[in-house]
Structure 1
Amino acid sequence: MVLRSERWLELRRYRALHEAGLSLSQIARETGLDRKTVRKYLAGEAAAAPPQRSPRRDARASVLSPFAHVIDAWLRAELLLKGTVIHERLVEQYGFTGNYQRVKLYLQEARPRIAAELGIGPDELAGLHRRFEVVPGAQAQVDWGDEGGILAHVGIAKVYSFHMVLSYSRDPFCCFTTSQDLSAFWECHRRAFAHFGGVPKSIVYDRTKTVVRRHVAPGQAVPLHPEAVAFAGHYDFDIDVLAAYRPTGKGRVERQVTIVRDHVLAGRGFSSLADLDAAFQAWVPMRRARTHRTHGEVIGVRAARDHAALRSLPARPYVVAARHLRHVGKDCLIAYDANLYSVPARRVRHRQLVEVRATAATITIHATIADQYGQTLLASHPRAVGRGARIVDPAHWDGLPDGHSRSTTTGDTPPPRTRPAPGGGPLQALLNRAAAAHVTVDRRPLSVYDQIAGTSPFTSTRTYPKGTSS
């Protein structure tokens, strides 16, 4: 029936050609139809009305028709209610037996219709997102900012800003780092918790590699990084990972990134990361004194309620360390993050494999096999800032040749050779060739050694038994 309708549309398109004098054969060749079929549809009532589709029962409508008024009521209350939520509620509350695809197809028709009833146009519907409110201490949002070469004049090529915002009060925290790696990311969390005086019940993240182990298809469970799970378990908060391409899910912290750039960084010069952190801390009281235009309260007043509802900090901090394997170079240095760190020469060998444990502040180097005392630590250094630094402990090079025995002369005459002082003993005399020639050696007959050994003296006369010849 669908094919017949399409062909009818083609015949209507060529009817003007037929009226202009085109023959039936020519129209048949253009449309790919038989000449008799062309004559049939162009003659009489067949050309005036398309072939009618036989009525068919819509299985989708029959399954959802008892619940259509329920779905429409939910959409009028929350137009952007997810189809998965609607299907779940229909199954739990109304015993719905259909699958999710039935609901999804119905929403494609129902959502624009309800939007039209509410006076929301298609363009407005596409740009909408669901606003959510939380109770004090319930949530925080985290994001990174790229501040570029703000410290390039002091040799730091790249600076990043870490932001955490309490969702209830919009109370901000920011600190600056030169790395976005695992240890730096979670160290910034520890600083944020100390700034707020507690831990929120959940933290919202996008799909960063320091939180998510790998990306998965939409609708599948997101595998979390093991260190993220351990850190969240130690500080007792939940990890909330946003769906892919959903920036509105953490708009409060993304807005905070722009605010910090405008009010703290713009038009100022800095000489170190400490200066950047101090500038933000000096700006925080001014930010807390402002009235937020969304919730209409002073941020500091609302932040007091937020801080009071936070969970208390654990007694012991959890330090995340990134672990990597490196080879020891001939100069007793190992390379990590574009910097060099020394190891003790007496405890390693060239090309030995060692483990580097990097935190935000320190670099510790461990042997892969414990020594006789069960220890693996080889060296500990403060972490270098930037790239291309050499962090060396001079004691690590003890025992290596340092060139102190080398000597030079500017004359053509070689320096005189000195003899050891006399009386150095027989061993010293033997080691000196000139003195060895004058060493007196005792001479004894061989019979003395025969007597000592208890053997008969050697003679050249031999006796043979009778009846034998020599």
Structure 2
Amino acid sequence: MLRSGTINTIHELATQGKSIREIARTVGIARNTVRRCLRGKREAVPRPKRGSVLDPYKGQIRQWIQQDHLYNCETMLSRLREMGYRGNATILRDFVRPLRPRKVGHHPIMRYETKPGEQMQYDWGEFHYEQEGQDRKVYGFTAVLSYSRMRFITFVKRCDAPTMLRCIMEAFEYFGGLPKAALTDRMKSVFLDMDGKTPIWNPLFADFMASLGVSPRVCKPFKPQTKGKVERSVGVIKNGFWPGVHFTDIDHLNGQAKLWCDRLNQKVHRTTRKVPMDMWVEENLTPLPKEFAWERFGAEERKVSWDGFISYDGVSYGLPADPPVAGSVVLVRERKLELRIYHQGQLITTLTKRPRSHDIVQHPDQFKGVEPVAPLNRTDRPLGHQVAGPVVSVRNLAEYDQLFGVEVSS
């Protein structure tokens, strides 16, 4: 079967007036083959496609797309490199492009830029994972400096107000300073309502921001684009880091997230065309305060059970028997994976935070000096009193007859 190049050469030589013998000698084929080619309209046989360096990995790529919903080619490329792939990114993008779901168009959105050190944006995201066949979730706290695009990410089990304040503290420490303002959604842990044009802030959040000298700001209603930088960052994490991630516990997950975030902050940002780490030097953030300035905002109350345990982030922690705090309320301050337990202003003990939920951590002095069955203080129990009833005399009925002057015939 002739190739298209050979067929074109035969027809070109025939056009030039060459004989069949000369054409056959030039091309290196039989004269009858030249005659058949000039006589008929045979189509050229397509050239067989060569194998691609991506072929051994296409099954894995389809699995990432179909099962993990991973469409980010940069993330795929880094994972394929670890598996031995030596091709370039263009081959990968060409293969993934038709496998992506179609995107719906929308109107353009005006981009807002801020000056160095002016603003930090932060937000929450829900991240689902599978554990023993069941769907579970953690919450991802994401913060980004609006000027340099420096990103921060940490995962937690809760997204309440105390947890949010601790995440903001970690973000400020990661960035190495304080911005002038912090922008987020109108979540209840931040914003309660409007009194005319005056915002009513969550009291705990307002005190926290006031103690740091950072101005709190929230987006306009139904305008999440106001904080588009962090909205985009949450999407980058969901599409670039989360699909197919494997972790043993939340500490392991946060370790991977930090390494991924560090690498991201050293890459050229697609919008600014600059490296966030290089632009971060220009932020000129306000220095961090002393720890005591925000220590009280990372504290939560917990009720101590009668067997001396407190529950914190799904883990039961035992407390020492002295002082006796069973049944009372203690204050738990979390700071850098360390739990400090206070009772009536006094530090009771310091514990290392455990990452796995449902763990039970007994304190070595939890039952020190405590009898196996401790007698309860009876005065603490509701107490009733039993008294002797009235004494009733037993008399002969004839005495009553005599008393009322009644004669009874025998």
Is 2:289 the counterpart of 1:314? yes
> What 5-or-longer segments of structure 1 have no aligned partner?
1-123, 369-374, 404-470
Secondary structure at the residue paired with 2:167?
Answer: helix
Is 2:330 the counterpart of 1:355? yes
How far 1:327 moved relative to its partner? 5.1
Is 2:306 the counterpart of 1:326? no
1:268 is aligned, of 223, 245, 255, to 245
Preserved contact between residue 183 and residue 358 of structure 1 (Cα < 8 Å): no
CA distance in structure 1 between the aligned counterparts of 2:310 and 2:279, rounded to whole angstroms: 50
Is 2:218 the counterpart of 1:241? yes
After superposition, give the CA deviation of every residue in 1:242-270 in whole Å (9 maximum; x if it has no partner): 23322111111011111123332323322
CA pair 200-398 structure 1, distance change in 2 beyond 3 A: same
TM-score, reference length from structure 2: 0.56
Task: Give the aligned residue type for 1:191.
Answer: E
CA distance in structure 2 between the aligned counterparts of 1:277 and 1:349, rounded to whole angstroms: 33
Task: Map 1:110-259 onto structure 2 (within 5 A).
Answer: 130-149=110-129, 152=131, 157-212=136-191, 214-216=192-194, 219-259=196-236
Structure with the bigger percentage of strand: 2
After superposition, the CA RMSD in angstroms is 3.4
CA distance in structure 1 between the aligned counterparts of 2:277 and 2:309, rounded to whole angstroms: 50
Aligned length: 266
Secondary structure at the residue paired with 1:204?
Answer: strand
CA distance in structure 1 between the aligned counterparts of 2:156 and 2:213, rounded to whole angstroms: 25
How far 1:398 moved relative to its partner? 1.6
CA pair 197-343 structure 1, distance change in 2 beyond 3 A: closer
How far 1:127 moved relative to its partner? 5.1
CA distance in structure 1 between the aligned counterparts of 2:286 and 2:315, rounded to whole angstroms: 38
Higher relative contact order (CA 8 A, sep 6+): 2
CA distance in structure 1 between the aligned counterparts of 2:342 and 2:367, rounded to whole angstroms: 17
Is 2:367 the counterpart of 1:392? no
CA distance in structure 2 between the aligned counterparts of 1:355 and 1:140, rounded to whole angstroms: 34
CA distance in structure 2 between the aligned counterparts of 1:366 and 1:154, rounded to whole angstroms: 39
Secondary structure at the residue paired with 1:359?
Answer: strand
Preserved contact between residue 183 and residue 359 of structure 1 (Cα < 8 Å): no
CA pair 215-391 structure 1, distance change in 2 beyond 3 A: farther
How far 1:333 moved relative to its partner? 2.7
Q: Which has the larger radius of gyration?
A: 1
CA distance in structure 1 between the aligned counterparts of 2:347 and 2:259, rounded to whole angstroms: 40
CA distance in structure 2 between the aligned counterparts of 1:199 and 1:135, rounded to whole angstroms: 14
CA pair 334-280 structure 1, distance change in 2 beyond 3 A: closer
Secondary structure at the residue paired with 1:323?
Answer: strand
Is 2:271 the counterpart of 1:294? yes
CA distance in structure 2 between the aligned counterparts of 1:156 and 1:340, rounded to whole angstroms: 23
CA pair 313-367 structure 1, distance change in 2 beyond 3 A: closer
CA distance in structure 1 between the aligned counterparts of 2:289 and 2:133, rounded to whole angstroms: 37
CA pair 335-161 structure 1, distance change in 2 beyond 3 A: closer
Task: Give the aligned residue type for 2:241.
Answer: V
2:317 is aligned, of 341, 363, 372, to 341
CA pair 349-270 structure 1, distance change in 2 beyond 3 A: closer
Secondary structure at the residue paired with 1:397?
Answer: coil
Preserved contact between residue 164 and residue 172 of structure 1 (Cα < 8 Å): yes
CA distance in structure 2 between the aligned counterparts of 1:149 and 1:393, rounded to whole angstroms: 32
TM-score, reference length from structure 1: 0.49
How far 1:301 moved relative to its partner? 3.6
Q: Percent identity?
A: 26
Task: Give the aligned residue type for 2:158.
Answer: S
Task: Give the aligned residue type for 1:342.
Answer: G
Structure with the bigger percentage of helix: 1
Secondary structure at the residue paired with 2:365?
Answer: helix
After superposition, give the CA deviation of every residue in 1:142-199 in whole Å (9 maximum; x if it has no partner): 011212236x469995422211111112221112222223333222222222222222
CA distance in structure 2 between the aligned counterparts of 1:162 and 1:327, rounded to whole angstroms: 29
CA distance in structure 2 between the aligned counterparts of 1:249 and 1:314, rounded to whole angstroms: 29
Secondary structure at the residue paired with 2:252?
Answer: helix
